[in-house]
Structure 1
């Protein structure tokens, strides 16, 4: 009778250990999922930064274009003044 209790106790203990191991594995999986989510968020942030950089570049290009336009306008004014003085 006692031997059955010992065997049964031992079986119960093994089952508890298997359950603890399954729980540890579930926790490791949840941690891996959290890490994947953090990586996705970092990637989204890098993409937003690339987009901001592209926008800054477009703005610099627009500014260069405005400067070229102002330069052309000054050139036209010089030509007009030159013609008027002749």
Structure 2
């Protein structure tokens, strides 16, 4: 059974509907979780700075100095 992840916070869900129907505290617009449309991988890379981690949750938990919204506001974002 595949896993589905939020692009903003890295939370995992067993179905797309359960993921996208719940609120995401890291959604920049204050909305719901956004489906990460890439595949499950051993390593995830930030699309802004290239740093890598073993999970989307780890990746999205820290700030990215190259994020377009600035050092303190933007988090790492997974590359597809």
Q: TM-score, normalised by structure 1?
A: 0.13
Greater strand fraction, Structure 1 or Structure 2: 2
Greater relative CO, 1 or 2 (CA 8 Å, sep 6+): 2
Greater helix fraction, Structure 1 or Structure 2: 1
Q: TM-score, normalised by structure 2?
A: 0.13
